[in-house]
Structures are given as structure tokens and as C-alpha cells.
Amino acid sequence: MHYIISTRCQIRPGKMETFLRDVQQWEEDAMEAPEAPEYHALYINRADPSHALIITHFANKEHADAFAATDLLGRFHEKILSCAVDDLDRVGYDLYYAAGSGGPRAVFGEDG
């Protein structure tokens, strides 16, 4: 079952350049790891660019746990926290349902 880690934060004034540089450097390290996520995405709010949503997507929870054991995820959250206004809002999610132009692709963990 696909698994994502969602991280939401607000970047402190004057820290956006550092934040973006740290995220990109971490992505390079993370994507070279044997337990790398399937993909990593950074969303910035257009109306208020200090608000960021970060999605790290894994094939399953076990893969996410193996990646977390490398400490890359912990280092990433430390770097983000150094640029953030408050504590991070981190949540993990298991895929319940997905749909695309071809219709449903997964329903509560049944890959299709």
C-alpha cells in the first residue's frame, strides 16, 4: 500500500533561500539512498509563499520505515525546522483511494 509523509510548515522571513537550498541538497542525498522515496514534492502557496507543504511518497510503509532508519528523514526535518516559524506538522498517510483518467487505481491498499 502506498505511503506518504506530509510535512507542513511556514518559513521564517529571510530564510526562504536557505530553505530551498537545504531541500534541494537533501533531495539529492535522499534520491541516491538505496531506500529512496519514489518521489518528493515541495508545494508553495502562491498567495503566501512562506507556507510550504512537502510530500514524500513511498511504495509502502515498510519502505518509508527503512528510509527513516537511515536518518535522512530526521536530518531533513531538522533542516526544515531551522527555517520554520513553528514546529512542523508531520503526518504519515496510507493510501486509501486513488483515481486518474482511467478510473480508480487503488482502494484501501489494493494496488490496481
Domain residue limits, the chain: 3-111
In the predicted structure, residue 58 carries a pLDDT above the cut 90: yes
Architecture category of domain 3-111 in CATH: 2-Layer Sandwich (3.30)
Over residues 60-95, the pLDDT tens digits come to 999 999 999 998 988 888 888 888 887 777 777 777
Residue 89: its pLDDT value, please? Answer: 76
Contact predicate 104/14, CB 8 Å: no
pLDDT score of 62: 94
Whether the pTM exceeds 0.75: the reply is: yes
Measured distance CA(3)–CA(86) in Å, rounded: 25
- Residue 20 near residue 27 (C-beta atoms within 8 A): no
Which pLDDT does position 106 carry in this prediction?
Answer: 58
pLDDT of 4 over the 60 cut: yes
- What pLDDT does 112 receive? 45
Q: Which residue has the higher pLDDT, 102 or 15?
A: 15
